[in-house]
Amino acid sequence: MDFLREQLIDPLSNVLNSHVLVYLLIAVGIYFTLRTRFIQIRYFGRMFRQLRRSHRPDGGISSFQAFCVGLASRVGTGNIAGVAIALTVGGPGAIFWMWVVAAVGMATAIIEATLGQMFKVRADDGAFRGGPAFYIQNGLRSRAGGVAYAVLLVIAFSTAFNMVETNAVSGVLKSSHGIDIRWTTVVLAALAAPVLFGGVRRVAAFAGKVLPTVAAAYTLLALAIVAVNITELPGMIEEIIGGAFGIRQLAGGFAGGIAAAMCTGVKRGLFACEAGLGSSPNIAGAATVSHPVEQGLIQSLAVFIDTMVICTATAFIVLASAPGLYNPAHTDVVGATLTEQAIAADLGSWSTPLITSVVFFFAFSSVLSNYVIAEANLFFLGGRRWAINTLKLVTLGSIAFGAMSELKLVWSLADLTMTVMAIANLVSICLLGRWAFAAIRDYHDQIARGRTPVFIASAAGLPGVLHGDVWEIPVRRQVGALPGALLIDRAPVPSTTVSQAPAA
């Protein structure tokens, strides 16, 4: 296993990350930020308002549930173990580049989630399915491309990503509580099975009830640590910014300080917030909303909460730890264990069970949301009941294997699959960007006229025909899913090209 990782997986992953993804990810985020005129800033307040007006749908899952499932996919060990690893490998400067990825990634998240909504389809059970495989096939007219992406995603999210999550749980339980890995494996599988076999709606219900509480508790814990070490806060910020630009590592040159911080920060930032990866559009496409951009804004808010709030909290926890525990040059403590020990050093041993619970629920929620993402793509590939049940069994198997695997191998597999998927998705959403831009213009125009935005494909000025009947609503049809059962009075008009539509 070590030979495979060292000779094939790591070299290929490093080349794709260092020479392709690190620049493509930031460039695409900047492009969408400028092209939408900083939509993540202009509509930041509306993201919260949109979250409040989330409703219970007649089909699919609610917008708030999709937000929670999307947040569950993002808020996992990437926020606890991943940030700790970023600090260990890339130094404090890696956190700055995680911020950069999230800041521009908020615009990317809006675009990909909007596309996930626009090109979604209705499944046999009445729920919706959407994501990169769907908009690659229906938007780019490439069935082969959609199939290739779906296959890669099913493999990654049902195995490698779940292995990362359960590996963190087993490591924390063994190092802090002496619990045998075999017991951890059995308990995780036993808890996951009934939720997985309950289907997408049960996963959404679980995430909607559990994740907000756990995320809030973890954030409050981090704020308590920052308050205890408030005098060190300016120094920590100086370390992060200085490390990002190699101010303290000038002797090592660009290939030393800056490159290590940038590459590590981008990789860990992408794994944490998943903006551009293509995972969140699968969840966004399952939601019932009145306009695709609504879910785009909500998924963008999830990126902000994930990185700017939770990942930053982890970074401050580690940087404020007792002297000797964290050393970017050398440390024997890595991953979630480093975060847990840093909290215990600041608040005392009483906090160890609390952080263990947080790690467990973050990882467990991510496993469930990863399954939702994999199932959507298996549906795209034509898989039905027997195939979906097989996927559930594979997911349970990856829980067991990940809990007993070596940390380096698990992260290497996750990094490689994540990188390939991200590159494919980023190229696809750039090619399909004009569809999302048209939807954003339509959303903006309706708001400017004082209306509650409702998307009708033939009236939105799209660059082409959006096939399917998901977004074609008859004139003056009552929409019960909307607040107050609004009446829509938008007559369909012929589609126009993007160049004919007014600027967003």
Cα–Cα distance measured from residue 368 to residue 1, given in angstroms and rounded to the nearest whole number: 27
Show the tokens assigned to 141: 């007219």
CA distances (Å), origin 335, targets 268, 326, 332, 460: 12, 11, 10, 47
Cα–Cα distance measured from residue 394 to residue 193, given in angstroms and rounded to the nearest whole number: 11
Q: What is the mean pLDDT of the chain?
A: 78
Residue 19 pLDDT > 60: yes
CA dihedral 192, 422, 300, 237 (to 10 degrees): 100
Q: Which segments of 63-196 are extended strands (E)?
A: 121-122, 128-129
AA letter at 206? F
pLDDT tens column, 227-270: 877 888 888 888 888 777 765 544 444 444 566 667 777 766 66
The answer for residues whose C-beta is within 8 angstroms of residue 387's C-beta and 6 or more apart is: 378, 381
Three-state DSSP at 397 gives helix
pLDDT tens column, 281-310: 988 888 888 899 999 999 999 889 888 888
Rounded percentage of the chain residues whose pLDDT exceeds 70: 80
Of the two residues 400 and 280, the one the predictor is more confident about is 280
CB 283 within 8 A of CB 369: yes
The answer for residues whose C-beta is within 8 angstroms of residue 344's C-beta and 6 or more apart is: 351, 352, 355
Instruction: Name residue 487's beta-bridge partners.
Output: 478
Residue 482 pLDDT > 60: no
Of the two residues 439 and 7, the one the predictor is more confident about is 439
pTM for the full model?
A: 0.81
Residue 437 pLDDT > 60: yes
Cα–Cα distance measured from residue 44 to residue 39, given in angstroms and rounded to the nearest whole number: 8
Helix 161-177 / helix 352-380 crossing angle, nearest 10 deg: 160
Nearest CA to 272 out of 303, 246, 301 is that of: 303
CB 449 within 8 A of CB 490: no
> CATH fold of 9-468, please?
Amino acid/polyamine transporter I (1.20.1740)
pLDDT tens column, 171-226: 777 777 778 777 777 888 888 888 888 777 777 777 777 877 887 887 788 788 77
Residue 109 pLDDT > 90: yes
Cα–Cα distance measured from residue 504 to residue 496, given in angstroms and rounded to the nearest whole number: 15
Among 18-27, 72-81, 295-304, 414-423, the least confident range: 72-81
Show the tokens assigned to 175: 């190092």
Of the two residues 430 and 347, the one the predictor is more confident about is 430
AA letter at 325? L
